[in-house]
Amino acid sequence: MGLDAYVACTCFRDGVTSEPPIPRSLIVVGPTGRPETVWDQDPDELVSDAQLDVSVLFHDWTDSACAHPFMELVSERIGNVMGVAWLRAVASGLDPGRFGRLTEILEGLSGMMDDLLPADEARAALPELEALLRESVIGSTRVLHELDGSVIDDELDSRPIDYVAFRSLGPSPGFRSEFDELVELGVEGYDFVVRSRGAVPGELFRARLVNQVWDHASASGPVTKYDDPIGLVTFTNVETGEEITVRSFGVRTRMRWPDGSLWDEEKGAWLHYPEGFMVGERKRMVPELWWVLSSLHRLFLAADQTGNPVVWC
Ligand SMILES: [Zn+2]
């Protein structure tokens, strides 16, 4: 699952394909810009077996009828469901005065869609997309980092930062655990917050400069590719000396083994529990979005040149 997109070529319209295997009277240019059989135009129309055979023959032909595989001038992978959701969230932080058309398009994307973006809308958004590609910065995000700057989580915010809301680091209240006293970690503003996971969560600890001691001996198994151990963790507010010991996953990062992998068949995951950490903030840079923005650029440019829509699929 995810989102792909293409813009059809104009070879059939321009008469530069190989000779179709069926009479031209049965072929029309469809809404996507690709040629299709006349009966494909109406999805509700009942198709006879004979027509179905012709359709199969015709579709096989379109795979290699011209220089463009599947008669697609440009074909791009936009992202998986998560990637598209992230793109949509980032778009919500764009200045509507400068990027209004583009924002409207990006916010309408989903990981499961079957839709067309008309060529004139892609054309109208093209200058905004090109302006965005020339920018350096696109919003900002809070980060969790060690006191020497080592990054624990480089993106706490995908949407514009909400400094008032509790941003959970997990596990959510819905997470099922054998430990009733398991706590939820999170961030509020620039504070690290620990709270209980009852129906009404209670705040247990808050600090902006945190010391963490992870009790390895208390850690529960099993550690799997996806599940980290739960153990006793002591958090200390370095500024006030206040401390609390709770049962938690702790604040941890998965380190890479020397071969670059995050999971070793024998040794499992290499978890690192930073001793000191804090919440910071950084700008999100346009180059982080370069791959997806340049894919969109190729699609919009092709729509502008051909007059065919961008087909999301
Ligand atoms: Zn073509």
Per the structure, the count of domains in the chain is 1
Residue 267 has a pLDDT of 83
pLDDT > 90 fraction of the chain, expressed in percent and rounded: 74
For residue 313, how many other CB atoms are within 10 A of its CB?
12
Q: Is residue 106 part of a domain?
A: no
Q: Which of 62-71, 103-112, 244-253 is least confident? A: 103-112
Q: How many CA atoms lie within 13 A of 25 on its CB side?
A: 0
Q: Is residue 181 part of a domain?
A: yes
Q: Is residue 212 part of a domain?
A: yes
Rounded distance from Cα 66 to ligand 1 centre (Å): 5
pLDDT > 70 fraction of the chain, expressed in percent and rounded: 99
Rounded distance from Cα 16 to ligand 1 centre (Å): 8
Domain range for residue 231? 151-273
Rounded distance from Cα 306 to ligand 1 centre (Å): 11
Rounded distance from Cα 75 to ligand 1 centre (Å): 12
C-alpha distances out from residue 180 to 70, 196, 214, 230, Å: 56, 10, 19, 12
Rounded distance from Cα 277 to ligand 1 centre (Å): 56
pLDDT of 63-96, one tens digit each? 999 999 999 999 999 988 888 888 888 888 899 9
Q: Is residue 203 part of a domain?
A: yes
Rounded distance from Cα 26 to ligand 1 centre (Å): 19
Separation CA 230–CA 273 (nearest Å): 12
pLDDT of 290-312, one tens digit each? 999 999 999 999 999 999 999 99
pLDDT of 233-242, one tens digit each? 999 999 999 9
Residue 222 has a pLDDT of 65
For residue 49, how many other CB atoms are within 10 A of its CB?
7
| Residue 280 and residue 155 in contact, taking contact as beta carbons nearer than 8 Å | no
Q: Which of 33-42, 189-198, 214-223 is least confident? A: 214-223
Rounded distance from Cα 88 to ligand 1 centre (Å): 31
| Residue 1 and residue 303 in contact, taking contact as beta carbons nearer than 8 Å | no
Q: Is residue 16 part of a domain?
A: no
Rounded distance from Cα 120 to ligand 1 centre (Å): 21
Separation CA 98–CA 24 (nearest Å): 46
Rounded distance from Cα 10 to ligand 1 centre (Å): 6
Q: What residues have CB less than 8 Å from 245, skipping those under 6 apart?
A: 232, 233, 234
pLDDT mean over 44-68: 89
Rounded distance from Cα 310 to ligand 1 centre (Å): 15
Rounded distance from Cα 73 to ligand 1 centre (Å): 6
pLDDT mean over 258-286: 92
Rounded distance from Cα 251 to ligand 1 centre (Å): 53
Residue 100 has a pLDDT of 95
Residue 19 has a pLDDT of 96
| Residue 194 and residue 182 in contact, taking contact as beta carbons nearer than 8 Å | no
Q: Is 112 exposed, middle or buried (0-12, 13-18, 19+ CB in 10 A)?
A: exposed
Rounded distance from Cα 52 to ligand 1 centre (Å): 24
Q: Is residue 100 part of a domain?
A: no
Rounded distance from Cα 34 to ligand 1 centre (Å): 9
